[in-house]
A and B are shown apart, each in its own frame.
Chain A
Amino acid sequence: MDIYFSWRHPSQVVDNRRMRMTSSLQWLLSTFILLYLMNEVNSQKKGALRDFKCVTNNLQEWDCSWKAPLGAGHGTVYEVCIEDRPRSCYRLEKTNIRLSALSPGDHEIKINSLHDLQSSMSKFILNEKNVSLVPDTPEILSLSADFSTSTLHLMWNDKGSVFPHHSNVIWEIKILRKQSMELVKLVTYNTTLSGKDVIRHWSWTSDMPLECATHHVGIRCYIDYPLFSGRKEWSDWSPVKNISWIPDSQTKVFPQDKVVLVGSDITFCCVSQEKVLLAQIGHKNCPLIRLDGGNVAIEIHNISASANSGTNVVFTTEDNMFGTVVFAGYPPDSPQKLNCETHDLKEIICSWNPGRPTALVGPRNTSYTLFESFSGKYVKFKRVEALTNENYQLLFQMLPNQEIYNFTLNARNPLGRSASSILVNITERVSPHTPTSFKVKDINSTAVTLFWHLPGNFAKINLLCEIEINKANSAQDLRNVTIKGVENSSYLVAVDKLNPYTIYTFRIRCSAETFWKWSKWSNEKKHLTTEAIPSKGPDTWREWSSDGKNLIIYWKPLPINEANGKILSYNVSCSSNEETQSLSEIPDPQHKAEIQLDKNDYIISVVAKNSVGSSPPSKIASMEIPNDDLKVEQAVGIGKKILLTWHHDPNMTCDYVIKWCNSSRSDPCLMDWKKIPSNSTETIIESDQFRPGVRYNFFLYGCRNQGYQLLRSITGYIEELAPIVAPNFTVEDTSADSILVKWEDIPVEELRGFLRGYLFYFEKGERDTSKRGSVESGRSDIKVKNITDISQKTLRIADLQGKTSYHLVLRAYTDGGMGPEKSMFVVTKENSVGLIIAILIPVAVAVLVGVVTSILCYRKREWIKETFYPDIPNPENCKALQFQKSVCEGSSALKTLEMNPCTPNNVEVLETRSTVPKIEDTEIISPVAERPDDSSDVEPENHVVVSYCPPIIEEELPNPAVDEAGGTAQVVYIDVQSMYQPQAKPEEEQDTDPVVGAGYKPQMRLPINSAAEATAAGDGVDKTAGYRPQANVNTWNLVSPDSPRSTDSNSEIVSFGSPCSINSRQFLIPPKDEDSPKSNGGGWSFTNFFQNKPND
C-alpha cells in the first residue's frame, strides 16, 4: 500500500499538467475561431465573392462558379475578366462562367459584381491545378439477366467522344440486392477511352439465384488522365436499374439440376408465396435466409459428393414441399493407362482406366472421344453403365497403309475436361487372339503337321508361335516357329523329331515377331504318332533244359521307345551250319520258347514284329563252353543292390551276361539276366524281385564267338537275416560226466543268410525251475560254447556232474543275427565207480595213518617215554642246581630268574672301529657314547643293545673293514663255549646271506651280526632275532623248564625278558657232561621240532 501511494503522486502531477495544457489549447482555438468569424463579417460587408471554383468534364471547357455575397439579390451583373488574356472580359448575370481551358500557370480572374449601382471587385488566381475533372454521370443502357446461370449483363455507353483524349477510365459498378438495397458487390472495371462512343458490356454471376431477389445495379466512372494536373474526381452514380423475376409458375426453387464441384459453396433459394418452414439438404436442416416476400435462401458450404440421383434440396411449407436437385461431383480425371493394341491388325483397341470416379452419372457422366491426329478421325465412347471402375475400351478401325497412330483421348463432363495421348506403331502392338480350330495330322511316325486358325489379317507381319509338346513322363518341349502372316487366318507348321507310337499333347500360342504379347494358349490336342518298325531286337538268353536236349530261349519285351509300336509277335529261329529250325508268330505276351536241338552249336535269333515290320534279329549262340575251374563264391548286397566284380578276360569278345535265380528253385532256373559290355569288370544287379533273406545264385557268363562260358558262380543275399528256426538237435549219448549232442543242418530257406556258427549254452537246471526260459548271456552259471566251425555237427560236453539235470540250448547265427533257441533238459547218469572210490579212499587213508602212527610210536617209544613220562631225577644228584644255589644265594625259587638281584659280571663290548677284537671283562663300552653320529639305521639297534639291561652278554663289534654292511656297528654275542670261535666263524658267515645266516645260526651258535639284526628290525621280520634268544632260552629252559615260556618265540621282549640266566656265568662254562646236549634237545617243544626240522 505504501508503494502505491508513493507512485500515485507523480501520476497525479502528470494529469494536472495535461489538463493545464488542454485547457490552454482550447483557449487558443476559440480565440482563432473568433478572429476568423470577425474577418468574415468584415469581408462580406465589403461585398466580396465567395467560393470561386472551376470544374471540367472534358478538359476543354472549364465551368467556374462562385457564390454571390450576402445580400446580393437578383439583378446582379458580374463582369469577369481574365487579366492575361486580351479582350477577355465577360459580362453576365449568373454566377458561373464557361471558359475554354486556360494554359498552365496562374491566371488572375477579376470579377466585378455590379448590384444596385454598387460594385465590388474580387480577384482570384486561377490555375489548372485548382480545376477539378469530374466526368459526366454514366447512363446504363440496359440491364438484363440470364436466370439460368444467375448472370447479370450490363450495357452502357462510355461516351468517349465527349472526352477528346485517349485515357484510362475506371468504372465502378455496384450491385444491390432486395428492396432494401443491400450492397452485395462493388466492382471496378477498367477501360480506355478512344475518342469515340463505345457500348461497354459487363457481366456478373450472382451466388444467389436471380429469381429469388431483386438486384439493382448502378455505375460511375473516373477518368485517369495523367496530363491533367488538377483534381480528378469520380462521376456521380448513375440511376440504378433493377432486375427481378416474374414468376411463371407458382413456386420454384433455384437453381435447378445444377452440377457443381465437390467442396464448393452454393446458395439455394425458394420463391414462395407461402411461408417456408424448413429447408434441408439431404438429411441436414439449413438456416433460412429471409429475402423479400416469402422468399428464402440457404447457403451450402463445402458440398460433398452426391449419390447417383443427386442431392435433394427441399423447402417445406405448411402444406407443400418444393425442391431441387444438385449434382456435386468432380471433373474427369485424366484417363490412365491408356493403351492401344490390336488383336487382328484390323481394329485397334484402346483401353484406359477412368481414374478417380466423378460421382456423376447419366447425362452428367464423362464422355470420351478418341481422336487420331494423323487421319483426323475420331470415335466416341458409347457408355455401358456397368463399367464403372473397370477398364474402358474403344475400337478404332485401322486405316489402310497407316501403321503409326497418334491417339488423344478426351474426357469431358459438366465440370471440366482432361485428355491423354499415346503414339503407337500398331505393328508392334499385336496381341493375337487365341488360336482356334487347332488340329494335328500325321506326316510320318516322327513328324506331324499342326493346323490352326488365327483370326486377323497378318499379311504384313511375321508371326512367332510357340508350340508346347508334352509327352508322358518326359520334360516339356517348347519349340518356337516363325511363320509368315497370311490374310486368310489359316496357318500350319510341321513338327518333327517326335517318337513313333507316342502320345503327345500339343498346344500353341502366337505373337507378332516384334514381340508384344503372347496370345492365350490354344486348346490342347492329344495325338498318337504312328508306328515304326522296332528299332532293336529283344534282349535274349537261353538255357539248356536239365536233360540237355531242349534249349529254352528267353527274351525280354522291348521297351516302348524301342518297340515303336505294339509288338504283335516274335519269330525265333535256330540255325546251324546244316539246318534251321524256326518258330514263328509267337504272340506277344509270351517271352519264352523251347526248341529241341540235336547238337548244341546253334545260333538263335529272335525278331520282334509290330504292325509296321520286324525288328533287326538279336542273335545268341546256344553253346555252353565248360569251365572246370569254378568255385562257388559268396556275396552280400548293399541296400537292395548287389555288386559283382570280375577280372577282365580278353578272351571274352562279345559281352558278359549275368543271370540269377532263386537258389531254392530247381534247374533250369532263371529269374532274370543282364548283359554287360565286354569292357566292363563290374556291375550292380538290382531287381524288384530281390527279397532280403533269400539266397540267390548269380552266374557270370562270358561270351565268346562260339558260345557262353560260365565264369563264376556266386551265391548271395541282398540282405542277410537271422535264421528263423533253431537247429534241430538231439542227445546222442549221456554219461555220468558228459553229454554228446548232435544237430542237423538248417534248410537254406530258413537260414536266411550264410551260417556263421552255433552258440551252445548249458547250465544246471530242471525243467520246471525258475531259471527256465531264455538263455541270457552274462549269467555266470551259464556256460557258452561258440561253434564257428559250421561243418561240426556234434559236441561233447564234459566235466559234468552225475545224475544232474542240465538245460541245453542251441541256436544258429548268421551275419543277420541270432536265430531262435532250441532247448532241452538232460539228466546225466549216476557215477557208481566214483562213489566207491569216494568211500574207499578215506578208509584207506585212516588205516594208513593208524599204521604209521603205531610204527612211529613204537620206534620212538623211548623219546615218548622221556617226553611224556620222564624219569624224575633226583635233585640231589644235580650239580647244576647246586652251583646255582651257591651263585644265586638268597633266591627262594628256581622257577624264575629275578632280574634285579642279578648283578652283571662282565660284558665285553667290541667297538666297531677297533681292528682287533678286544675283550675286557666287566667293562661296557657304549657305542652310542663312542659314536654319537653313527648312522640312524644302526642307532636303534645300538640303543637296544645298550638299554639291554643288564647286558651280561659280551658283545663284540666285528672289524668294520671286514663288515660288508659298512659302518654299522655289530654286536656279537659270544657263546661261552665258542668264545674263541668268532675269529673263524664270522669269516665263513660273511660270505653267506646275512639274513639266512643270522636266522638260524644264533640258535645254537651265535655270532649275529648287527646288520642282520638291523635288517630284521627294520623290515619287521623278526624271526632271525626271534631265534637268537631262543637259543639262550633253550639253555635257560634247561635250567628252568617250568618257567613260563612264551609261545611267541619272535618276541624280543620275551627273548630279552629273561636273559638273566643266559648271561649268567654258569652258562659261560662249557658243558661238562653229555646230558646237556640231550637236555638241550629235550627242552624243545614239539613245535620247535617241526620248525627246526627243515633246517636239519
Chain B
Amino acid sequence: MSCHLVAPLCLLSLLLPPLSPAAPISPAEPISQAYSLALYMQKNTSTLLQTYLQHQGSPFSDPGFSAPELQLSSLPPAAVPFKTWHALDDGERLNRAQGAFLALTQHLQLVGDDQSDLNPGSPILLAQLGAARLRAQGLLGNMAAIMTALGLPIPPEEDTLGLVTFGASAFERKCRGYVVTREYGHWTDRVVRDLALLKAKYPA
C-alpha cells in the first residue's frame, strides 16, 4: 500500500499547478492543461474498462458485455439531458465535474483495493486502476486551478463512499468496479466536452 501512496503523491505534485492565489491567472492556461489531460485520459478509458472486465470472468469478460442497469448511488451518473447540460453555467458545470471526479478517485481507490483481493496476480489491471485514479486526481487539481482562475469557490472534499461499501460481496465488488470504470469513461467524455466549451469561451 505504501508504494501505492507515495507514487501518486509525487505525481500530484507534478500535476498540480503551483498555487499562487495572489496573482490572478488567465483561465485559458489551466483550461488548456486540463483539456489536454482529459483528452489523454479519454484515450485510455476504454482500455481500462476492457482490462477490468477481462479479469472478472464470465459474463463480464464476455464480448459485448454491458449492464447499463447497474448504477452506484454514491457515484453521480454522467448522463444528463443535453439541454440541461448546455444550460449549465461555468461554475455549476465545473462543480459537477469536480464532484464526479472526486467521487471517482475515491471509488477507483476502492476498486483497486477490491481487485487486489480478487485479482492479486494481475499487476496490469492494478496498475491501470492506479493510473486512472492518479489522472482523475490530476484532473481535479487542474479543475481547481480553473475555478481559482475564474474566481469560483472550490467545493470541499467529502467522503462520498460512506460506510456502506465494506461488507460488499465479491459479486457486488465486481459490479461496483464495472460501474466505476464505466462511469470513469463516461465522465471523462463529459469533462472533455465541458472543457472544450470552456476553452472556446476563454481563448488564450
Contacts and interface: CB of A to CB of B under 8 A. Distances in A.
Contacts of A622: none
B59 A308 contact: no
Interface in A300-314: 306-312, 314
Contacts of B169: 256-257, 324-325
A567 interface: no
Interface string B14-42: 00000000000000000000000000000
B117 interface: yes
A282 B121 CA distance: 20
Contacts of A791: none
B62 A310 contact: no
Contact of B59 (A307, A310, A312, A365): A312
B106 to A, nearest CB: 22
A27 to B, nearest CB: 75
B122 A282 contact: no
A361 B120 contact: yes
Given A324-B171, A325-B170, A312 B116 contact: no
Most buried by B among A280, A365, A385: A385
Interface in A100-120: none
Interface stretch (A315-323, A406-414, A1070-1078): A315-323
Contacts of B60: 312
B171 A256 contact: yes
B171 A361 contact: no
A282 B57 CA distance: 7
Interface in B131-164: none
A363 interface: yes
A327 B119 CA distance: 12
Given A282-B58, A319-B69, A321-B67, A308 B118 contact: yes
A365 B117 CA distance: 10
A283 interface: yes
B174 interface: yes
B68 to A, nearest CB: 10
A650 interface: no
Most buried by A among B70, B116, B121: B121
Nearest to B56: A309
Contacts of A321: 67, 69-70
A319 to B, nearest CB: 6
A875 interface: no
B55 interface: yes
Given A256-B169, A283-B62, A325-B170, A362 B57 contact: no
A388 to B, nearest CB: 6
Contacts of B55: 308-309
A388 B56 contact: no
A388 B120 CA distance: 11
Interface size on A, as a range, is: 20 to 34
A202 B168 CA distance: 32
A253 interface: yes
A366 to B, nearest CB: 13
Contacts of A256: 169-171
A134 B171 CA distance: 53
A280 B171 CA distance: 14
B171 A323 contact: yes
Nearest to A312: B57
B117 to A, nearest CB: 4
A250 to B, nearest CB: 13
Given A282-B57, A283-B62, A309 B174 contact: yes
A362 B171 contact: no
A386 B62 CA distance: 27
A309 B171 contact: no
Given A257-B169, A325-B171, A361 B121 contact: yes
Contact of B174 (A306, A312, A320): A312
Contacts of B58: 280, 282-283, 312
B174 A325 contact: yes
> A-side binding surface: helix, strand, loop or mixed?
loop
Interface string B44-69: 00000000000111111010000101
Interface residues of B, number: 22
Contacts of B174: 309, 312, 325
A362 B69 contact: no
Contacts of A327: 170
Interface in B94-124: 116-122
A388 B62 CA distance: 27
B117 A314 contact: no
A253 B121 contact: no
A310 B118 CA distance: 8
B116 A362 contact: yes
A509 B67 CA distance: 64
B120 A307 contact: no
A327 B174 CA distance: 14
Nearest to B167: A256
Given A256-B169, A362-B116, A314 B59 contact: yes
Contacts of A309: 55-57, 118-119, 170, 174
A361 to B, nearest CB: 5
Contacts of B67: 321
B126 to A, nearest CB: 10
A257 to B, nearest CB: 5
B73 to A, nearest CB: 13
Contact of B122 (A280, A306, A308): A308
A925 B54 CA distance: 150
Interface string B70-94: 1000000000000000000000000
A148 to B, nearest CB: 12
A280 B59 contact: yes
Nearest to A323: B171
Interface in A277-304: 280, 282-283
B120 A308 contact: yes
Given A256-B169, A324-B169, A362 B118 contact: yes
Interface in A312-347: 312, 314, 319-321, 323-325, 327
Contacts of A308: 55, 118-122
B119 to A, nearest CB: 5
A362 B120 contact: yes
A320 B68 CA distance: 9
A310 B121 contact: no
Contacts of A280: 58-59
Nearest to B55: A309
B85 to A, nearest CB: 26
A386 to B, nearest CB: 8
A253 B116 CA distance: 24
Given A257-B170, A362-B116, A362-B120, A311 B57 contact: yes
Contacts of B59: 280, 283, 312, 314
Given A309-B56, A362-B116, A385 B171 contact: no
Interface in A495-544: none
Interface string A260-286: 000000000000000000001011000
A385 B121 CA distance: 6
Interface string A359-370: 001110100000
Interface in A699-724: none
Interface string A890-917: 0000000000000000000000000000
B69 A385 contact: no
A323 B59 CA distance: 10
A365 B120 CA distance: 10
Contacts of A307: 57
B117 A363 contact: yes
A312 B56 contact: yes
A309 B117 CA distance: 8
A277 to B, nearest CB: 13
B38 to A, nearest CB: 30
The 7 residue pairs across chains A and B that have the minimum distance between CB atoms: A325-B170, A362-B117, A309-B118, A256-B169, A323-B171, A385-B120, A282-B58
6 contacts: A283-B62, A312-B60, A312-B174, A325-B170, A361-B119, A385-B121
Interface of A: 253, 256-257, 280, 282-283, 306-312, 314, 319-321, 323-325, 327, 361-363, 365, 385-386, 388
